[in-house]
Structure 1
Amino acid sequence: MTVPSVLLLLGAMTAATAPRLLARADWPEREPVLAMWVWQCVVAAVLLCCVLAMALTASAAWTAVRGHVFAFAPHGVVDAYGLPGYGPWAGVLAALLACGGAWTAAMLTREVRAARARQRQRRADLLVRAPRLPGEGPGFDLPADQRLVVLESGRSDAWWLTGAHPQLVITTAALRRLKGRQLDAVLAHEQGHARARHDVLLHCAGALAAGFPQVPVFAGFRNQVHRLVELAADDIASRRFGRLTTALALVELNEDRGVFGPSPMPLAQMPGRVNRLLDPGPRLTWAHRARVTALATLVPVIPLLVAFGPGLKALA
């Protein structure tokens, strides 16, 4: 059972070491989009290791599964894996990995359903707080990227409500506090979240972390993604309206929440985001970014090479 063992060992090593290596790196804060790509590649590699190991052990345990997995493979390729020699534990291991896959799917389904329920509730609350005016019935046709809802509220806030009909929501207190280009920067920040579909990434990260809380890579993925998506949206806004304008907009929008005081617990990352905008570190060079991107892309390729290695060697 050499190949499945190597795959599982590789997945375990990746899950344990990758979060530590990324935590020690000093560039993710300067390159949040690249950091998100690296995290996704690492998580994909771990999941691939499990899926490929499950396929091989299930092929060894059950002939019917083997017929599907190796349906188009020459006879010599099947012999190269030595499936009969995997032993009686192959079926047990395949069943355990299949249970893990089913649990992952269940957690993702639960996360999506919970997100949709929250979305429906927020839309219902929004409709109560901002009822449609005459002529704005369910068939009111307005481009999604121009749909803006203004709420009467004494609290400064702005958010993007995702869904089939996205809406950008902003309160009157935010409109009073934000001046000129500061408002544009906040809108660009929220639109950046929507266009990059950060909500999908957050749902996936949340589902994996909830399903496997003891796996470091999934917990790190969830924790870091929540921070990185905000930094990426900050960069989108700052590129259009300037770092100082975006920083001032964040301060104006969050100053009354106590996040800049001596104990900024509710939104502890906000002071760091503002400082990052005001005193940005140097970005990685183009060549450095290209190298990191290429190396990250190779991470999920390694399990594929391990899994298909015996078959490719048999064909050579």
Structure 2
Amino acid sequence: MMVAVALLLLGALIAVAGPRLLGHARWTDREPVVALWAWQCVVAAVLLCCVLAMALSASAAWRVVRGQVFAPAPDRVVEAYALEAPRLWAATIAVLLACGGLWTGAMLLREVAGARARRRRRRVELLAQAPLLPGEQQRGDRLVILEGDRPDAWWLPGTPPQLVVTTAALRRLEGRALDAVLAHEQGHARARHDWLLYCSGALAEGFPQVPVFAAFRTEMHRLVELAADDMASRRFGRLAIALALVELNEDRGVFGPAATPQAQVPQRVHRLLAAPRRLRPVHRLRLTAAAALIPAVPLLVTFVPGLRALG
């Protein structure tokens, strides 16, 4: 039972230290893809601590569960985990963690179902606003051009995703700027950023009192935009996507003294114009490997007693 308690403490430590370390890191804006991976590893480690603690607590509370979890293990391995703990405490922890897991799954299903319903409604609206031409087959990956006075472009997730651009954006953007905007939206589609947003939104909505999940959602929304900016800039240059962002957003009040400090567009434009140098490939590889080790720590804590008993 001590291992389960250690896992819960470890999960709390990762939930507190992980966002602080990533929040103070200077490389996250330079390498948003690596930062996305690091955030996913931190959250995965927290969730893994809860799952493993639930399994060990349930094993301490109910022999039936213990027989399933430790079925192939010899008796000395089971004894190494000291599962003879007060059943009430073990059962309470196991039930609470199981309820948290079920609640997480329910919130994720709600998030995905709501997004799919909104996509279906939006596709019907788009089909009504931009009907198919005679003889044209309905395809989800076609570029939809909408009449509108507001310059805008976005992607509609789905299988396949759909790109939408307004006529005002076509009038305002020219040449490489328009190509850069379309490449930005295609970058979202290729990387399936919608699933990152679904998962982060489900955790933040399901557990609003847990700061790590709220920070996870905020950073996912920010980093996916930076990653898509980089994908577009590699093909058409940083200046093209920066000018496109200015052209699309200059009438929305995100620039100037009235802009809120949380506005992302000015920060994205400044980052593109400042052109921060990317990290060296070896440095990126080290960061990626270091992030991958975070979820391995709960596994190591879980298996150490058993490995010692076998050794």
Coarse TM-score class (shorter-chain normalised) = over 0.9
* 2:135 is the counterpart of 1:135: yes
Q: What is aligned with 1:294?
A: 289
What aligned pairs does 1:187-202 form with structure 2 within 5 A after superposition? Answer: 187-202=182-197
Alignment check: 8 A CA contact 2:132 2:138 kept: no
Q: What is aligned with 1:212?
A: 207
- Deviation, 1:287, is 2.4
- Deviation, 1:12, is 0.4
Q: What is aligned with 1:250?
A: 245
* 2:120 is the counterpart of 1:120: yes
Q: What is aligned with 1:20?
A: 20
- Deviation, 1:41, is 0.3
Name segments (4+ residues, structure 1) moved above 6 Å. Answer: none
Question: Structure 2 length normalisation: TM-score?
Answer: 0.96
Q: What is aligned with 1:102?
A: 102
- Deviation, 1:153, is 0.9
Higher mean C-alpha displacement, 97-106 vs 123-132: 123-132
Q: Provide the rounded CA distance (Å) in 2 between the counterparts of 1:286 and 1:197.
A: 24
* 2:32 is the counterpart of 1:32: yes
- Deviation, 1:88, is 3.0
Measured against aligned partners, the alpha-carbon deviations of 1:282-306 in whole angstroms (never above 9, x if no partner) come to 2222222222111111000000011
* 2:294 is the counterpart of 1:274: no
Alignment check: 8 A CA contact 2:2 2:82 kept: no
Q: What is aligned with 2:234?
A: 239
- Deviation, 1:133, is 2.1
What aligned pairs does 1:4-83 form with structure 2 within 5 A after superposition? Answer: 4-83=4-83
Higher mean C-alpha displacement, 277-286 vs 259-268: 259-268
Measured against aligned partners, the alpha-carbon deviations of 1:198-245 in whole angstroms (never above 9, x if no partner) come to 000000000001111111211110001100000000000000000111
- Deviation, 1:267, is 7.8
Measured against aligned partners, the alpha-carbon deviations of 1:35-94 in whole angstroms (never above 9, x if no partner) come to 011000000000000000000000111111112212222232222212123553101110
Higher mean C-alpha displacement, 123-132 vs 45-54: 123-132
Q: Provide the rounded CA distance (Å) in 2 between the counterparts of 1:179 and 1:73.
A: 67
Alignment check: 8 A CA contact 1:57 1:86 kept: no
Tell me, which stretches of 5 or more residues in structure 1 are unaligned? none
Q: Provide the rounded CA distance (Å) in 2 between the counterparts of 1:169 and 1:265.
A: 27
The alignment's C-alpha RMSD in Å is: 1.5
Q: Provide the rounded CA distance (Å) in 1 between the counterparts of 2:122 and 2:244.
A: 24
Q: Provide the rounded CA distance (Å) in 1 between the counterparts of 2:124 and 2:21.
A: 44
Q: Provide the rounded CA distance (Å) in 2 between the counterparts of 1:86 and 1:228.
A: 45
* 2:83 is the counterpart of 1:88: no
- Deviation, 1:261, is 2.8
Tell me, which stretches of 5 or more residues in structure 2 are unaligned? none
Higher mean C-alpha displacement, 7-16 vs 64-73: 64-73
Distance 1:250-1:267 versus aligned 2 partners, 3 A rule: farther
Letter in 2 for 1:97: L
Question: Structure 1 length normalisation: TM-score?
Answer: 0.94
Letter in 2 for 1:195: R
